[in-house]
Amino acid sequence: MSTIDLTQPLATLLRESTHEAHETVENSPSAKLLLSGGLAQDEYIRYLMMLWHVYDTFERALDRHAAHPTLEPTYNPTLLARAPLLAADISYLLGVQESSWQTHPMYLSLFSSMPGPLQDYVSRIQEISDSSDPSPLLAHSYVRYLGDLSGGQTIRHVISKAYDLDETEGLGLSFYAFKELRTAKPASQGEMKRIKDWFRAGMNAAGETSAAVKVAVIAEANMAFNLNAGLFSTIKLKDKGSKDLLSKEIAVQVEHAQPEEKTYPIGQVIAVIAAVCLAHFLIVVGGFTGNKGYQKLLAIEAWLRNFFQSGTD
């Protein structure tokens, strides 16, 4: 990152300073597969499980430091909290009660040993929460919440189509839905913009506390994008047909390497049949007995073989 003009609002600085990191995450193979609705459903559920751990740790940290001058302007769990909604979506997709999804074999298998990138993510959040200055938590709010607000409606539509979910009912899609800023009504596109404007204004207010806060939040935001890239790296590249994409690519290459099946014009086929019939006639009337008969038979066999090969060259 080059020279930073710290006189600019924090929201502007964050957008400009994280552009490259944002694009890196957005263009990763796993992110593209997820955002296109092409990810296998079991991998999608595993991804939601990892996100739940991130949000649960993160939102507990925000609750702990709700009154901190840097965090208070954007603290609104009623509006923003995602962990409970992720739990609801995971439960619905697994077909289990919300109270029991963490006993599901898929969850137990995934977290029998927590994936390294997920461990890094939650450990970093906990480290900030336990530090003397939790201001960098604002960077994680920016990366996660503003990202959810910006792309949530589009992703919601893609996911509903990908996994045959009823977008009107919203079951299995709660994570992508927001309420209005001042009411409990579902937020429209216009209201989503108002929420984002409110959030940016809160970030700018936080940035006014000191230049040091701006520097710390910008640095942490780039780290947060890298941590999200780590989460994407744990996704197995399987499509909705549940085939590993690398294995599928190899299978296609093998298929292309197979020799082409030979075909023969109908005229050649008729000629061969006629030759066989002639050979049968000669065998019957030509007296193929004893050693001389056997030699004649070999000669006819060789002739037929040469005839067939010449017709396929």
180 shares its domain with 270: no
- pLDDT score for 212: 96
Q: Spell out the residues 6+ positions from residue 284 whose beta carbon is closer than 8 angstroms to its own.
A: none
Residue 170 sits in a domain of what CATH number? 1.20.910.10
| 169 and 300 co-located in one domain | no
- Whether 100 and 231 map to the same domain: the answer is yes
Same domain, 71 and 123: yes
Residues 63 and 189 grouped into a single domain: yes
Query: Which of 244, 275, 290 marks a domain boundary?
Result: 244
Q: Do residues 296 and 192 share a domain?
A: no
Give the pLDDT score at 3.
Answer: 79
Would residue 4 count as lying in a domain?
no
**Integer Cα distance of 88 and 174 in angstroms:** 7
Distances (CA, A) of 297 to 285, 286, 293: 13, 10, 6
Same domain, 179 and 219: yes
Q: What is the pLDDT of residue 209?
A: 94
| Amino acid present at 278 | L
pLDDT the model gives residue 152: 80
Asked if 87 and 189 sit in the same domain, the reply is: yes
The answer to whether residue 251 sits within a structural domain is: no
Structural domain boundaries, residue 190: 10-244
pLDDT at 255: 40
Distances (CA, A) of 13 to 23, 29, 86, 171, 190: 16, 28, 30, 37, 24
**What domain count does the chain have?**
2
In a domain, residue 260? The reply is: no
What pLDDT, on a 0 to 100 scale, did the predictor assign at position 265? 55
Residues making up the chain, counted from first to last: 313
Q: Is residue 258 part of a domain?
A: no
Per-residue pLDDT of the chain (313 residues; tens, 9 = 90+): 467 899 999 999 999 999 999 999 999 999 999 999 999 999 999 999 999 999 999 999 999 999 999 999 999 999 999 999 999 999 999 999 999 999 999 999 999 999 999 999 999 999 999 999 999 999 999 999 999 999 888 899 999 999 999 999 999 999 999 999 999 999 998 999 999 999 999 999 999 999 999 999 999 999 999 999 999 999 988 666 544 443 343 333 334 434 444 444 555 544 444 444 444 444 444 444 444 444 444 444 554 455 444 444 5
Whether residues 238 and 273 fall in one domain = no
Domain termination residue (choose one: 214, 244, 274): 244
Which pLDDT does position 154 carry in this prediction?
Answer: 86
